[in-house]
Amino acid sequence: DGGITQSPKYLFRKEGQNVTLSCEQNLNHDAMYWYRQDPGQGLRLIYYSQIVNDFQKGDIAEGYSVSREKKESFPLTVTSAQKNPTAFYLCASGGVNRGNTEAFFGQGTRLTVV
Q: Across-strand partners of 95?
A: 102
Nearest alpha-carbon partner for 16 in 82, 61, 75:
82
H and E: helices and strands count for the chain: 0, 11
Exactly one of 3, 58, 63, 75 binds other proteins (CB under 8 A); that residue is 58
Dihedral, CA atoms, 67, 76, 40, 31, nearest 10 degrees?
A: 30
Establish if 44 lies at the interface with other proteins (CB under 8 A).
yes
Smallest distance, other proteins to C-beta of residue 27, A: 13
Looking at beta carbons only, is 12 or 18 nearer to other proteins? 12
The residue ranges that bind other proteins (CB under 8 A) are 1, 6, 31, 33, 35, 40-45, 48, 50, 56, 58, 88, 90, 92, 94, 101-108, 110
